[in-house]
Copies of this chain bind each other. A is one copy, B any other.
Amino acid sequence: MTRTIHFFFDFISPYGYLASTQVERIAAAHGRDVVWRPFLLGITVMKVMGLKPLMQTPLKSDYVRLDKPRMASLLGVPLASPDMRSASSVAAARAYYWTLDRDRLQAIALAKRLLHRLWVEGGEISNAESVAEEAAHVGIDRGELLAALGSQAVKDRLRDEVDGCIALGVFGSPFFIADDQPIWGVDRLWMLERWLRYGHWNRIDGG
């Protein structure tokens, strides 16, 4: 994992989207590549950790409602408020890994389009058809993708990826691993930048 930044996110996480708008700039400033690794909060947070969804957690849901727009403002990026009650990122994440096994840059382009559709346009990405629509925009064959999304191999591919995230200790979105350092949260981009700059956690006066 040495020269890359592993960027873990769930497509349905607004904080994951916010981080996606920053991670490449930060990585490039330090000569790093970004490995985009979508995963499913429904598995990590709900099944493994045994927690409720964020927006069903008293007190924290109110905080997040207030916090999302101010974080977007701080980063200078747009943030829509789509209805997330029945949102799913399973099709999006499967499509990402299926594409990744064919073309890495195409997969990243697809990820960005899906994040944009949901979090900038406030559109739908939960069903396979809307995912395929975005895929077509980056040159992926719509029919081929739709056929793949129903296959066991593609389901297993995502399952293995999510298992891999859990094995690495990833739980929230966004989550970064740079070298051996796990860093959770868009509110810790400063820590990611600091690690990339200094490679240690000793106090730096004035910084």
Contacts and interface: CB of A to CB of B under 8 A. Distances in A.
Interface stretch (A12-20, A51-59, A138-146, A155-163): A51-59
Contacts of A44: 59
A171 B60 contact: yes
A185 B60 CA distance: 12
Contacts of A76: 203
Nearest to A60: B171
Interface size class, chain A: 20 to 34
Interface string A37-65: 00000001000111110000111101100
A7 to B, nearest CB: 16
A180 to B, nearest CB: 9
A66 B171 CA distance: 14
Given A50-B52, A63-B171, 16 more contacts: A48-B58, A49-B60, A51-B57, A59-B170, A59-B171, A63-B169, A63-B184, A73-B202, A74-B191, A74-B201, A74-B202, A74-B203, A185-B187, A187-B187, A187-B188, A187-B191
